[in-house]
Amino acid sequence: MTTVSSAPKPAPLAPAPATPARTARARRSLGIRVLRYGLLLFFLVVVLMPVYVLLVTSFKGPGDATPDRAWLPPTELYFDGWRSAWEQLSPALGRTFAMVVPAALISATLGAMNGFVLSRWRFPGANLVFTLILFGMFIPYQAVMIPLIELMQDLGVRSGVPSLIVLHVVFGLPITTLIFRNYYAGIPQEMIEAARVDGAGMLRTFTTVVLPLSAPAFVVTLIWQFTSAWNDYLFALFFSNARNGPVTISLNFLASGQLQDYSASMAGALIASFPTLIVYVVLGRWFLGGLMAGSLKG
60 φψ region: left (φ > 0), alpha (ψ -120 to 50), beta (else): beta
Q: In the prediction, which pLDDT does 14 show?
A: 52
pLDDT tens-digit readout, 209-243: 888 888 888 988 999 999 999 999 999 999 998 88
% of the chain beyond a pLDDT of 70: 89
pTM: 0.81
Alpha-carbon distances of 101 from 39, 48, 168, 243, 247, rounded to whole Å: 38, 29, 11, 20, 14
The class of domain 82-297 in CATH terms is: mainly alpha
123 φψ region: left (φ > 0), alpha (ψ -120 to 50), beta (else): beta
For 44-64, what is the mean pLDDT? Answer: 89
Euclidean distance between CA atoms 115 and 98, whole angstroms: 26
Q: In the prediction, which pLDDT does 122 show?
A: 74
Alpha-carbon distances of 15 from 9, 38, 281, rounded to whole Å: 18, 32, 45
Is residue 231 a contact partner of residue 101, using CB atoms and an 8 Å limit? Answer: no
Euclidean distance between CA atoms 92 and 88, whole angstroms: 8
Euclidean distance between CA atoms 246 and 211, whole angstroms: 32
Range with lowest mean pLDDT among 14-18, 53-57, 80-84, 172-176: 14-18
pLDDT value at 46 more than 90: yes
What is the DSSP code string of 21-43? HHHHHHHHHHHHHHHHHHHHHHH
Q: Which residue has the higher pLDDT, 298 or 144?
A: 144
Domain ranges across the chain:
38-78, 82-297
Euclidean distance between CA atoms 51 and 91, whole angstroms: 24
